[in-house]
Amino acid sequence: MARIVQDVRSFRADAAWGARDLVEIEGATARLHWTDQPYRWHVNDGAELFCVLDGEVDMRYRIGDAEHVVRLRPSDIFVADVGDAHVAHPVGEARILVFERKGSV
């Protein structure tokens, strides 16, 4: 059955990085996350697509030994491949759409 999600800007989870599962497609999930706290440095076991829907997020990532940061705003997308170390730091509250392998960190 088709679904329409119209509460993205008002969605709030019980805790930082809480999520609403939206859909599973061939072993990958799309989840709507809410947060007001940084995540933790991590490396996914598969590719990850991270799209800011509301708010702003400072995405920190490493290339070799160098750390970089980019400010993501609504409609900006960060794509991490297998092995890419990264961590998201929201600036206030943020709502993010994440596509990744089901069960990934």
pLDDT tens digits along 20-58 = 999 999 999 999 999 999 999 999 889 999 999 999 999
The maximal CA–CA distance of the chain, rounded, in angstroms, is 47
Q: Residue 70: enclosing H or E segment and its boundaries?
A: strand 66-72
Q: Tell the residue number behind the tokens 């730091």, with chain if given.
A: 89
For the record, the structure tokens of 93 come out as 């509250």
Query: CA 105, CA 97: separation in Å to the nearest integer?
Result: 15
Asked if the model's pLDDT at residue 105 lies above 80, the reply is no
Report CA torsion sign: 22, 24, 73, 63: positive
Domain positions in the chain: 8-100
Q: Which CATH architecture group holds 8-100?
A: Sandwich (2.60)
